[in-house]
Structure 1
Amino acid sequence: MCGICCVVTLSSQHTIRSSLGEDVLRRLGRRGPDSSQQLVKTAPDLPCECLFSGHVLRLRGPVTPQPLEDAHNNIFLWNGEIFGGVHVGDAENDTAVMFHHLTSCRSEADILSLFSSLRGPWSFIYYQASRHSLWFGRDYFGRRSLLWQCGNEVDGAFCLTSVSVYSESSDQWQEVPACGIFKIDLKACATTKSFSLTLFPWKYSCTEKPVEEIFIDALDRVSKDLLNHIPLVLNESKLCLRAPVVPLNKTINEASGGCLGSNVSNITHMVSVETLQGFLAEEHRKKLVCQFTDVLNEAVKRRVLSLFRGEGQKTREVARASSREAHVAVLFSGGIDSMVIAALADKHVPLGEPIDLLNVAFMVKEKAKQKGTTKKQTNREDLLCPQESCQDLDAKTGAHLSCFDVPDRITGRAGLKELEAINPSRSWNFVEINVTLEELKTMRHRCIHHLIYPLDTVLDDSIGCAIWFASRGEGFISNQGELKPYKSPAKVVLTGIGADEQLAGYSRHRVCFREHGLEGVNGALELELDRIASRNLGRDDRVIGDHGKEARFPFLDEDVVSFLNSVPISEKADLTLPRGIGEKLILRLAATELGLTASTILPKKALQFGSRIAKLESNSEKASDTCSRLKLLSVD
């Protein structure tokens, strides 16, 4: 994982370094703490200047400082992971491998073929010296952040960066849309003294949709603010990237009314583990669940094994419960998504290595004290939260009424017990990450609002802040019954995003089903994946990357998405069944096969509600409202 940046100016009157402030460079450096370099290039026959800045987090192979430059003056910046399509040896670095392949490309079609073959998350910037072309883009799902900005003036700079800083100026940063890859012909731009972009859009290999129509669809995803400064055109050859997944199967089984529930007995309408076991008695369903489990298992395997585990890695200064460090962490609520990811990670992470389960909770408002709660707090409570904001010990049981016992903390502890039952030999570090309102305000002001930017809604604030604190991994773990301070050293953070979007996990999918049937649900799921880059993934990559860690998304593995896209909706979910069963049904069945129990029937609880960050500061906001707490902050 890396922080990458490029600034291009077409006029000597514009100082290139003034376009990239120290704040941006500092935040890029937090993403890549192992190596930072800058390179300024001027083409002898062009009146333009380019600044390339690379900041590297070592995860695979030897440390490979960026930007890379070869003897022919080609320059490459890469923020990605290759999990398939291009071979990367165990001792190789994927940045160097990609650069080698790129410099071997002889045509635009060759470059498109290379990126079409990749499996895994990526964003990149590539200067092709022989053609004076600057290429850049994000993967099909937009799993890696890339922002762009163009100044208002004719001689302004065009900028690309993994992360920026919040700005109230007219020159706003926007996310590069994950609708294809882009090219700037610097020679042509130098002649016209203005920037223009050429797009090579994604296209399903089996679609008959005209390229022009695909281009028009892509235009809708490009910021109108950017298009006011820079024209965007379709490449002259009408070349496209080949989408790495198959299109959504919208088949509806009319014979069964499109619902699984219509053919099951009344007992299946009860929310119980036995209900799921009853579904698995059907041979066809069990076979489908096993296929899904296999493909998801491989996705998790790739993401926990593609990781440097050398003995010489730096150790952190905080205490650990094991002599071995955790290299892999899971954003963990104890819900079905994180439970399945943790259970599958357990199959591949070396047994002597702990797995960190990162569980975040925000302080809940003090409840009315129960009768007889007069005992003085102990040191354990002082660790959990400030003394003045927590309950006393329960007089009867001695149990602590913690102000951090939010829903996700309760389900997380229950999930830990299930995982310990599946593999008692594993060291499971359940990291209790407790956040007070004061710390939330402080860290939002200091850094988090910059990472969420350019997104700005109440929902972005809630989720962005929760993920930032969770992925930081600073909290407490239980060591022989006593809570000890702990900071997760894991550089890889697995997250369950993508499960709800593909398996009808949100409450809005039930509303859509009631109003529009399965046809409507199919349309909603198609839209979910189409907008996941702009709604979620760029933000989550920036937030997690700020800790020098890398987000990895097993549910958005290309093979997983293709498998789920190939399966009719009636095989993936049954929204006639109650919450806790019907949504994400195929995943619940897979969890049952893995040996999970109570967690398989937990209803969906969104992160902002499960962690209790929602409504912490305001009770009158809607998720889609612009968040004033993000807008009223000055740049440090």
Structure 2
Amino acid sequence: MCGICCTVSLTAEIFKPYFLDYTNLQRRGPDSSHQLLETDCTYKYSCFFSGHVLHLRGQLTPQPLKDRNGNIFLWNGEVFGGVEVQDTSNDTRVMFEHITSCDSEHDILSLISKVQGPWAFIYYQKEKHNLWFGRDFFGRRSLLWGFGDNPEVALCLASALESSSLTDVKQWHEVPASGIFKFNLSTSAELKSIHLTHFLWMSATEEEQLEKGQSFLTVENQKYPAKITYEEGMLIAPITPLNKKIPELLSKSNPPALSNSVSLEDLKMLMSELHRENTESFIKVLSAAVKKRVSCLPKVTNLLTSKGKLANVAILFSGGIDSMMLAALADRNLPAEEPIDLLNVAFMMRQNANVKKLQKKPGPVSQHQDDGMAHKDFNPFDVPDRITGRLGWKELKSLNPGRIWNFVEIDVTHNELEQMRELHISQLVQPLNTVLDDSIGCAIWFASRGIGMLKCNGEKKPYTSTSKVVLTGMVPRDTCWLSRHRPKIYHEKVRKVSRRT
């Protein structure tokens, strides 16, 4: 991902753009960093743009992009379909060329509706004095907005917060992924107020979007009054409508008890021709998605060094079915000579009473003793994901022994966890602050940093992953709403559950 930022001032006076520390944004985009100040003396407003690029496709394209007409573009995303991007082209450049050729609001929204993939963007339309911004339908790229009490700043957009960001972090929120926003700068500067148009995704309901957008703009902004207008029907959601039909069994007043046991009928159903076809279809679709994700990466780093070839792709690897599936599909879609990094994160555990009992308990040798994980030699980093990760690594090596599988053991001590959480992770997770946000954020941060130990010829050596792409299958499992909404299926019925999603 890239780091993008835009600060808007409803005055033509040159304000100090460096009130933000850009360290976190630069970490999002280490390959190129540039800033640009745009001032309009007619309507008296200023916009400061900052772009930090992580190079993933085509030629390195510095941001912000600006054309001869004064249009400015910041893009943090990847185009996997909908808009044609050649293998040797850069999607930021392609999107800029397309969006600057749009003549109307309808053209811009039609273009955005076509894009398949994760994205967040900021687009300054010079001629019409509009600032467009937003995220994809699923909110897969970070974009925050802040309406602080700084008299020089009307609005600030950023991929990540910094330790010195404006004022209180409570004044920052995620830009709602419920549609695309247009900030009319000329009208806002003249009236000294914030005039926004919110173009809603076609599949969303008006009531939900009104509740989302207005609370941020009317409550959080202290200096400038805000006016938001909602438009529907011009932005087409890229998903199939949700099936809200209630199954007959669930509609009964006393539904059957749920069971975790597998019956003979369940096995027959799974072995049927229909389920086999569905499984093959699923693997085909997922394989195509992985192929798009790992293709067209710059290969300049994949040179033969003293340590051998460097990996371009890594997997957040626990040895579970999700990460095993992604690793197998990456193996299918990458050249045979390219290594794959398997990043296995283990947070240090304490030796509790149960482990002590297992140490004293006589019995047969543990099935994991061959891996050096017998209970008699307690290792605080032999967490369940480390054990299954090693077993999965062995299975992958047996499936394709010609591939270099780098099993990277990333051990995180209590002290390092607390230190990195305070220095980096908490800032990146903000404004989200739940326990789940922290847990997922810590795991992804340590994995993507890629610093660990690599077992080579029976010895462990320090290793740092060079991969710019990290595949993870944790989102469906760890952020899924199914288990926590199961009781509500019967108490509030499926109709209310669907509204929560």
Pair 1:218–1:202, CA change in 2 (3 A)? farther
Q: Following superposition of structure 1 onto structure 2, how do residues 279-298 of structure 1 map, counting pairs within 5 Å?
A: 279-298=269-288
TM-score (norm 1): 0.69
SS of residue in 2 equivalent to 1:73: coil
Question: What amino acid sits opposite 2:116 in the alignment?
Answer: R
TM-score (norm 2): 0.86
Give the aligned partner of residue 67 of structure 1: 64
In 1: Cα distance, 2:66 partner to 2:407 partner? 43
The match for 1:429 among 406, 409, 414 is: 406
In 1: Cα distance, 2:452 partner to 2:482 partner? 29
Deviates more, 1:278-287 or 1:117-126: 278-287
Give the aligned partner of residue 8 of structure 1: 8
Shift of 1:173: 1.7
Q: Which has the higher strand share?
A: 2
Pair 1:501–1:370, CA change in 2 (3 A)? closer
Pair 1:268–1:469, CA change in 2 (3 A)? same
Question: What amino acid sits opposite 2:330 in the alignment?
Answer: A
In 2: Cα distance, 1:509 partner to 1:142 partner? 21
Question: What amino acid sits opposite 2:87 in the alignment?
Answer: D
Shift of 1:397: 7.4
Q: Following superposition of structure 1 onto structure 2, how do residues 130-141 of structure 1 map, counting pairs within 5 Å?
A: 130-141=127-138
In 2: Cα distance, 1:165 partner to 1:315 partner? 37
Give the aligned partner of residue 364 of structure 2: none
Deviates more, 1:403-412 or 1:249-258: 249-258
Give the aligned partner of residue 110 of structure 2: 113
Instruction: Provide Cα deviations, 1:514-549, integer angstroms capped at 9, x if missing partner.
Output: x449x53x7546634xxxxxxxxxxxxxxxxxxxxx
For structure 1, the 5+ residue unaligned runs are 374-392, 529-636
The match for 1:32 among 29, 42, 48 is: 29
For structure 2, the 5+ residue unaligned runs are 360-370
Shift of 1:509: 4.3
Pair 1:278–1:304, CA change in 2 (3 A)? farther
SS of residue in 2 equivalent to 1:240: strand
In 1: Cα distance, 2:289 partner to 2:152 partner? 46
In 2: Cα distance, 1:252 partner to 1:2 partner? 42
Pair 1:496–1:220, CA change in 2 (3 A)? farther
Pair 1:128–1:364, CA change in 2 (3 A)? same
Q: Which has the higher contact order (CA 8 A, sep 6+)?
A: 1
The match for 1:507 among 466, 471, 483 is: 483
The match for 2:146 among 142, 146, 149 is: 149
Give the aligned partner of residue 245 of structure 2: 251
> Is the 1:500–1:506 contact (alpha carbons within 8 Å) kept by the matching residues of 2?
no
Give the aligned partner of residue 213 of structure 2: 219
SS of residue in 2 equivalent to 1:301: helix
Give the aligned partner of residue 449 of structure 1: 426
In 1: Cα distance, 2:240 partner to 2:335 partner? 33
Shift of 1:95: 0.5
Instruction: Provide Cα deviations, 1:238-295, integer angstroms capped at 9, x if missing partner.
Output: 453100011212334438999xxx9xx998349xxxx987543212222222222221
1:94 and 2:91 matched: yes
Shift of 1:183: 0.8
Give the aligned partner of residue 52 of structure 1: 49
Give the aligned partner of residue 346 of structure 1: 331
Question: What amino acid sits opposite 1:457 in the alignment?
Answer: T
Give the aligned partner of residue 363 of structure 2: none
Give the aligned partner of residue 368 of structure 2: none
In 1: Cα distance, 2:296 partner to 2:392 partner? 26
Give the aligned partner of residue 199 of structure 1: 198
Pair 1:130–1:415, CA change in 2 (3 A)? same
The match for 1:302 among 288, 292, 313 is: 292
In 1: Cα distance, 2:299 partner to 2:285 partner? 25
Pair 1:35–1:403, CA change in 2 (3 A)? same
1:329 and 2:307 matched: no
Shift of 1:152: 2.6
In 2: Cα distance, 1:200 partner to 1:506 partner? 30
The Cα RMSD (Å) is: 3.3
> Is the 1:177–1:221 contact (alpha carbons within 8 Å) kept by the matching residues of 2?
no
In 1: Cα distance, 2:293 partner to 2:236 partner? 23
In 1: Cα distance, 2:133 partner to 2:304 partner? 35
Give the aligned partner of residue 360 of structure 1: 345
Shift of 1:153: 5.5
Identity %: 50
1:407 and 2:384 matched: yes
In 1: Cα distance, 2:178 partner to 2:101 partner? 25
The match for 1:83 among 55, 80, 83 is: 80
Question: What amino acid sits opposite 1:251 in the alignment?
Answer: K
Pair 1:78–1:295, CA change in 2 (3 A)? same
In 1: Cα distance, 2:450 partner to 2:162 partner? 23
